[in-house]
Structure 1
Amino acid sequence: MSASSPSTPSGLPGGPSGGPSDDLSVGLTWLFAVTCGAVVANIYYVQPLLADIAASFQVGMGRAGMLVTVTQVGYALGLLLVVPLGDTHDRKRLILALLGLCICLLLAAAASPGFLTFAAASLGVGVLSCAAQVAVPFAASLAPDHSRGRTVGTVMSGLILGILLARTIAGAIAHYAGWRAVYVTAAVVMTVLGVLLARTLPADPARPSIPYGRLMASVLALARADATLRWRSLMGALGFAGFSVLWTGLTFVLSDAPYRFDQATIGLFGLAGLAGALAASRAGRLADRGHAHLATGLFAAACLAAWGLMALTSPLLLGSLVALTAGILLLDVGVQGLQITNQSVIYASNHGARGRVTTVYLTTYFVGGACGSAVASLAWELGGWLAVSATGEAIALTLLGCWIMAHARRRGA
């Protein structure tokens, strides 16, 4: 598949969002990156705090565990219902409004007197954290064509680091000051970022106003009209499905005999994912140089090789944890590199619809992740880690197969 689809498919509302800026500074690019990382971290703070929250509100761990789902559902709703507004509204004002509301709900979470209040605040925090996915296409719009991929890669590196470090930061703050201090700290961080963004973000060019119902209908029309977007969304969904298979199955295998690691130790394996953040910027540079298709194939192959390594994770095999760590690192490079390549391509060709493109892509992406988690749990029940790794290998093989078929069509065109 090529990336040569028109900037806005025929019949869809929305025009160019203003030309890219040739002077998008390094400082502004990194401010976008830090913002995305800090905002998306709001979704993940709750995970290491579940035991403390359950004790505080005197609920069971099963009920407390639903807070993770509630926050993720909120984020999905934000992607679907709020992010498309970035195509018709001033994105600077939209980001600042989302951050302002998020500050209020973070403080509400910190002051929650009961479980249901906290759950409602968590749902709202999830919805408003979609500000990160308003910021990514905004940065892409400001970047010149020759460095858009690199810009997206840098911004997404910040987002990935936010996901990886959120659990560690939340655990450290809670250890010394309690779980409520985590949300107070997050509110302070959002306030500082809001002030910086208000002072430094450029004005967003005016675009035609579109009624909300028509805007949402155009999301589906865009998906139908743009074959490149559909293909890139499929590749992203497969990549994230494999990623979810790993992180669902990993907890099972490392908490089981003979390892029996605690949650803190299991969490340290996530540090191997820092390689993915480094890969993100490199993937963007490959896309800028016209090698997005080749990069896609290489990252898909990395996912397949990673699962081959991780299949060696067995107490009967010498050095299996070394193979597991290497596999995690390689899979993260493959998945995050694929993610940046996909987004670089779809943002390059949809100048007037980047918010809606983000909605189509990330909604499909999270559906893939949810399916991966469900399949991993089933695989573990049926055959332990061997079945989990076989599932991951099958997904990666499908991913690479899709690329091979697309490559064959390109050669035959």
Structure 2
Amino acid sequence: MFTLKNKNLQAGIVLALVWLGVFIASYAQNQLAGMSVQFMEHYGFTSEQYASIYSASQFIGIFFAFAAGILSDKIGTRNIVLIAAGMVLVATVARIFAFSFEAQYLSNMFCGFTGMFLAVNRAKILGGWFPPATIALAVGIATTTTPVANTLGVGLTSLMPSIEFAFTVTAVVSAVFFVGWFLFGKERSDEIAAAEDASKGEEGGKVLKNLIEIVKTPWIWVLCAGAFFLMAGQVPLMAFTNASLVNARGLDPVAAGGFATAITIGMGVGSVVTPFIVKALKAYRPIVAVYAIVTALGIYFGWQMPLGVVMYAAYFVTGWCLGSLLAMIFTWPVLIYGRGKAATAGGLVQTFVLAGASLALTNITIPLAGGGSNFGMLFAIAAAYLVIGGILMLIVPDQAKAPTAEGKAAKES
């Protein structure tokens, strides 16, 4: 591992590596969406088998995200991410040569490991390199991985000459990340390491003690519930916007995809720009209130908007607000609990994120929306999720104004 003399340069490299590690998992998954028909025909899979393979990386996160956070706090973020990167490299290579359902399922499942471990540790790692004043911006930049991976995974994969070629591209990216993290991956700067080690004392490193302290606070459960409802609202928007525009508005798939892309672009821009707005206002709550309302309205009315610039703008603003809300809730664990407990808290939050992304859709939203055919009901339910998530976020102490005691300690470290 190299430690550069230029701290800011290494902080930028670490941010880029965190971005790339999460990108791999999302990109590998969205490659399947970009060539779904070819994928099923090439391997002879049914739609049900394809759906299982597509969701494999998310499914494992529901069960292991919390444990990943505890494990990261125990053995160190650098080590656990390096192990995950090695597993993903093996998985992405194995995926090229996997021809059975079981082999494809397992290889795609392990492709999500860097995404899971870095999603859990994202705020903790960046909190070790960026001061509290800029950590929200750093996390915002890191969360642009999802919209970029969605766009590239779906858009570029369809242009590639073969499935094996597409899988090889992912394997190469995985190799770059593994080497990059091995050489430059470091969870905190020397200055922050010295300050934390000095203040840790004999009480440091007690994972069980940290876990008990976290679960005893009300804010972790508010964050978890908020994350659940935000993701429960996001997934129907991302999954059914194309279908609603094609089936209900009569657009061709290419045109519908163009409008859906406005959401992902807005998410990326919003998650980067909003931290500057928070810094100017010195408050989260007004932004959360406005963004939650705008997002809910955008989800419900977006697919009904006049075609053209109006619809594109509506979806862009919806994505802007939604991406910003997600970036906030991913940042708050480190602001509330400090870096020492951030991975454990983040792991618990990430578990609810994945549960909201999968369980709510299949068990609540789809059945109530007539199997997904009643778009009005489907988007109404998704909008309701967003409102609930926004209300829960408003309950949490405003981290830009009056952080909790743990948050103050984090800012002082």
Instruction: Give TM-score, length-normalised by structure 1.
Output: 0.79
Report the counterpart of residue 301 of structure 2 in structure 1: 309
Distance 2:172 2:226 in 1: 37
1:76–1:127 Cα contact (<8 Å) kept: no
Q: 1:22 to 1:346 in 2, by over 3 A?
A: farther
User: 1:105: how far off?
Assistant: 1.0
* Within-5 A mapping of 1:231-250: 231-250=222-241
User: 1:111: how far off?
Assistant: 0.6
Report the counterpart of residue 3 of structure 1 in structure 2: none
Distance 1:209 1:105 in 2: 40
Distance 2:71 2:90 in 1: 21
* Within-5 A mapping of 1:105-120: 105-120=91-106
Question: Does 1:184 find its partner at 2:168?
Answer: yes
Distance 1:216 1:57 in 2: 46
User: 1:23: how far off?
Assistant: 7.7
* Within-5 A mapping of 1:96-111: 96-111=82-97
Report the counterpart of residue 366 of structure 1 in structure 2: 354
Report the counterpart of residue 83 of structure 1 in structure 2: 69
The match for 2:341 among 331, 336, 353 is 353
* Within-5 A mapping of 1:284-299: 284-287=275-278, 290-299=282-291
Report the counterpart of residue 194 of structure 1 in structure 2: 178
What percent identity do the matched residue pairs reach?
A: 10
Distance 1:42 1:84 in 2: 26
The match for 2:316 among 329, 335, 343 is 329
Distance 2:10 2:268 in 1: 21
Report the counterpart of residue 276 of structure 1 in structure 2: 267
* Within-5 A mapping of 1:13-412: 25-136=11-122, 137-173=124-160, 176=161, 178-202=162-186, 215=207, 219=211, 221-222=212-213, 224-256=215-247, 259=250, 261-262=252-253, 265-272=255-262, 273-287=264-278, 290-307=282-299, 309-310=301-302, 312-313=304-305, 319-320=306-307, 323-351=310-338, 352-374=340-362, 375-381=364-370, 384-402=374-392
Matched letter for residue 344 of structure 2: R
**Corresponding residue pairs, total:** 378
Matched letter for residue 83 of structure 1: G
1:235–1:399 Cα contact (<8 Å) kept: yes
Distance 2:40 2:300 in 1: 39
Which shifted more, 351-360 or 48-57? 48-57
User: 1:372: how far off?
Assistant: 4.4
Q: 1:62 to 1:371 in 2, by over 3 A?
A: closer
1:238–1:395 Cα contact (<8 Å) kept: yes
Q: Secondary structure at the match of 2:75?
A: coil
Q: 1:231 to 1:288 in 2, by over 3 A?
A: farther
Q: 1:258 to 1:334 in 2, by over 3 A?
A: closer
Which shifted more, 348-357 or 159-168? 159-168
Q: Deviations for 1:10-62, whole angstroms, at most 9, x for unmatched residues? A: xxxxxxxxxxx888644443343233323432233222233222222223233
Q: 1:127 to 1:99 in 2, by over 3 A?
A: closer
Distance 1:143 1:96 in 2: 21
1:306–1:326 Cα contact (<8 Å) kept: no
Instruction: Select the structure that is richer in helix.
Output: 2
Q: Secondary structure at the match of 1:291?
A: coil
Q: 1:100 to 1:260 in 2, by over 3 A?
A: same
Q: CA RMSD in A?
A: 3.4
Q: 1:125 to 1:83 in 2, by over 3 A?
A: farther
User: 1:402: how far off?
Assistant: 4.4
Distance 2:166 2:213 in 1: 40
Q: Deviations for 1:215-251, whole angstroms, at most 9, x for unmatched residues? A: 57964x3553222222233222222222122234324
User: 1:195: how far off?
Assistant: 1.9
User: 1:287: how far off?
Assistant: 4.8
Matched letter for residue 325 of structure 2: L
User: 1:404: how far off?
Assistant: 6.4
Q: Which runs of 5+ in 2 are unaligned?
A: 1-6, 403-413
2:49–2:101 Cα contact (<8 Å) kept: no
1:39–1:131 Cα contact (<8 Å) kept: no
Distance 1:308 1:72 in 2: 26
Instruction: Give TM-score, length-normalised by structure 2.
Output: 0.79
